[in-house]
Amino acid sequence: MTVHPDRAALFVVDVQNDFLDGGALAVPRGNEVIDPINQLMPRFRHVWASKDWHPSQTVHFEKWPVHCVRGTHGARFPETLDVLHIQKVFLKGTGNTDDGYSAFEATNEDLEFYLRKHHIDQLVVVGLATDYCVLSTALDAARLGFETFVVREAVRAVNLQPDDEKQAFERMRAAGVHLLQMSDILNLQT
């Protein structure tokens, strides 16, 4: 089971200021995903991203501190992310609902359709957070029949409960998602 960079899209989930150090919903060690993601991006022909993109008032904020309000600094990509590689951004969580954990729920563009249109059958998922949006996106991708990979060094978890991250990886594995290490991709011959 290997990644074919021509058939694959690298998908960067929610690497936004509010999920990073000092952000409204900072993911512990979330900043550590930025370097690995910058290393991965040049290896792929297709590099796409999602943004959590909430209205200023939403029932989602009954569960979470206010974060990633559309158009605010917290919703932006960090300056250290090599955003020039990102060709397309999918916006999710855009309504007054507690959905949009999966990038397949983006409202500006249909991710499944977009993948099929570009003849992509593999999705390599990285970003934040392992136990929420990375998990939902990876499970949806696998359920829709895409060969799905998650790169361990390039994801971090919120861990509201101490083993949420472990459980997230177990759920992914059970759904047929392949867990990779950076070296699996950096060593690919292209």
Residues making contact with Zn ion (CB under 5 A) = 52, 93
| Binds ligand VGL (CB under 6 A): choice among 133, 150, 172, 180 | 133
Residue 14 annotated to the active site: yes
Active-site entry in 51, 68, 133, 140: 133
- Work out whether the CA dihedral 148, 177, 111, 132 comes out positive or negative: negative
Buried b (16+ CB within 10 A) or exposed e, 154-163: bbbbbbeeee
Cβ-contact 51, 91 below 8 angstroms: yes
Q: Name which of residues 65 to 124 contact ligand VGL (CB under 6 A).
A: none
> Segment contacting ligand VGL (CB under 6 A): 32-40, 128-136, 162-170, 179-187?
128-136
Q: Name which of residues 6 to 65 contact ligand VGL (CB under 6 A).
A: 14, 52, 64
Distance CA 74, CA 19 (A): 8
Q: Which residue matches tokens 């359709």?
A: 113
CB of 128 to ligand VGL, least distance (A): 6
Binding flag, residue 132, ligand VGL (CB under 6 A): yes
Q: Where are the beta strands (DSSP E) in the chain?
A: 8-13, 46-52, 88-92, 122-128, 147-156, 178-180
Distance CA 74, CA 111 (A): 23
For ligand VGL, which is the closer residue by CB, 16 or 122?
16
Q: Name which of residues 140 to 179 contact ligand VGL (CB under 6 A).
A: none
Active-site entry in 18, 51, 68, 92: 92
Cβ-contact 120, 81 below 8 angstroms: no
- Which residues are annotated as catalytic? 14, 92, 133
Residues lying near ligand VGL in the complex (CB under 6 A): 14, 52, 64, 128-129, 132-133
